[in-house]
């Protein structure tokens, strides 16, 4: 079967590899090189000036960069913790064999398949000062106590906009991780819970002593996925703040800052070099986070 084998392999791999190299690998590696240059982008490749790490030094001194990074940090703390807590909670509730479980699963998972743009537009209405549900509900509750609640611009106020953006991300993410954990939990043999029950363990003990440890690998994966998502947030911030990054850039994140610097047509004299530098920083942050979280969540893996 050797005849023509290599020719066949080559012919089948040629186009996918070519496309991938040109449009994925070259850009990825090109970003590293580009981040070391100064380049207005209207000139051709050879007019790019090599500037060494000057772009990175400029980043270090850039207040907006640290502002965006800080926000990513906040998302990084809040998004995984809240999402995983809710997802684990709901998954645990599900394994009790409830009626209508299928209905709930189908409903909870749906936000995950919706377009982020549609979700963000939807939530920009929900957070709307006058017609939005959030203010409507708060207003109704407040008036029950005889108070008055005036229209509050959740997305327009620099103190609340980041929180609102994170809330939307959580809303979309919980269903996915819940389904992930349910799938993982279904692999845990019933005998373990039986034995624990006989030994007198209550639901809480069963959860923390059996479910969580056996689900740990899945939880670790979820943490990495969510950390990566926390470093993205591009669509959420862009649509919910109309591209501005929020009042006084209160919801700006690295991805939106990078877009703004590279394509925003501002007064940046070196859009592509500077933008690439931010992209490279993002890469190293993500790689570093993935490695760190893998390290810190390392446990002796329980085999069963």
Site for other proteins in 96-155 (CB under 8 A): 96, 98, 104-118, 120-126, 130-133, 136
Residue 56 sits at the vertex; the CA angle it makes with 54 and 58, to the nearest 5 degrees, is 70
Chain-centroid distance, C-alpha 230: 4
Binding part of the chain for other proteins, among 65-73, 141-149, 180-188, 205-213 by CB under 8 A, reads 180-188
Taking CB under 8 A as the rule, does residue 288 contact other proteins?
A: no
**CB 220: neighbour CB atoms within 10 A?**
17
Query: Phi and psi dihedrals of 232, rounded to 5?
Result: -100, -90
User: Which tokens in the block code for residue 81?
Assistant: 């913790």
User: Which tokens in the block code for residue 178?
Assistant: 């819940």
Q: Of the candidates 162, 250, 258, 260, which one interacts with other proteins according to CB under 8 A?
A: 258
Q: Of the candidates 54, 74, 142, 235, which one interacts with other proteins according to CB under 8 A?
A: 235
Reference 96, options 218, 216, 203; nearest CA is 203
Q: Which is nearer to other proteins, 74 or 134 (CB)?
A: 134
Q: Of the candidates 142, 196, 201, 283, which one interacts with other proteins according to CB under 8 A?
A: 283
Alpha carbon distance 26, 156 (integer Å): 40
Taking CB under 8 A as the rule, does residue 245 contact other proteins?
A: no
Binding part of the chain for other proteins, among 56-64, 67-75, 272-280, 292-300 by CB under 8 A, reads 272-280
Binding pattern for the stretch 193-232 against other proteins, x by CB under 8 A and - elsewhere: ----------x----------x--xx--xx--x--x--xx
Q: Tell me if 106 sits within 8 A of 94, measured CB to CB.
A: no
* Tokens 């939880």 found at: 219
**CB 85: neighbour CB atoms within 10 A?**
11
Q: Of the candidates 54, 89, 196, 201, which one interacts with other proteins according to CB under 8 A?
A: 89
The residues in 38-67 that bind other proteins, with binding defined as CB under 8 A, are 41, 44-45
Q: Which is nearer to other proteins, 52 or 200 (CB)?
A: 200
CB of 63 to other proteins, least distance (A): 21
CB of 204 to other proteins, least distance (A): 11
DSSP for 128-159, please give it. Answer: -TTT-HHHHHHHHHHHHTT-------TTTSTT
* Tokens 């959030």 found at: 134
Alpha carbon distance 299, 234 (integer Å): 33
User: Which tokens in the block code for residue 164?
Assistant: 């609102």
Binding part of the chain for other proteins, among 57-65, 66-74, 154-162, 167-175 by CB under 8 A, reads 167-175
CB of 136 to other proteins, least distance (A): 6
Q: Of the candidates 183, 212, 291, 292, which one interacts with other proteins according to CB under 8 A?
A: 183
């Amino acid at each position: 079967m050797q005849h023509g084998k290599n020719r066949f392999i080559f012919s089948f791999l040629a186009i996918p590899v070519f496309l991938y190299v040109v449009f994925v690998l070259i850009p990825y590696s090109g970003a590293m090189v580009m981040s070391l240059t100064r380049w207005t982008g209207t000139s051709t490749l050879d007019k790019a000036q090599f500037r060494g790490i000057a772009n990175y030094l400029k980043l270090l001194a850039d207040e907006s960069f640290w502002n965006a990074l800080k926000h990513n940090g906040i998302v990084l703390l809040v998004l995984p913790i809240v999402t995983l807590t809710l997802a684990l909670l709901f998954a645990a509730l599900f394994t009790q064999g409830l009626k209508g479980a299928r209905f709930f699963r189908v409903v909870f998972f749906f936000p995950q398949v919706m377009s982020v743009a549609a979700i963000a537009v939807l939530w920009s209405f929900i957070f709307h000062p006058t017609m939005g549900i959030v203010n409507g509900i708060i207003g109704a509750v407040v008036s029950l106590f005889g108070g008055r609640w005036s229209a509050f611009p959740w997305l327009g106020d620099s103190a609340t906009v980041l929180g609102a953006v994170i809330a939307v991300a959580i809303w979309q993410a919980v269903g996915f991780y819940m389904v992930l954990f349910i799938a993982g939990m279904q692999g845990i043999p019933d005998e373990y819970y039986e034995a624990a029950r006989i030994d007198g363990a209550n639901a809480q003990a069963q959860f923390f002593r059996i479910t969580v440890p056996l689900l740990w690998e899945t939880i670790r994966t979820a943490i990495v996925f969510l950390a990566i998502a926390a470093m993205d947030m591009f669509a959420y911030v862009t649509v919910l703040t109309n591209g501005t990054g929020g009042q006084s850039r209160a919801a700006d994140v690295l991805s939106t800052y990078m877009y703004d610097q590279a394509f925003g047509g501002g007064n940046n004299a070196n859009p592509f070099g500077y933008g690439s530098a931010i992209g490279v920083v993002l890469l190293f942050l993500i790689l570093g986070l993935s490695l760190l979280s893998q390290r810190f969540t390392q446990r002796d893996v329980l085999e069963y």
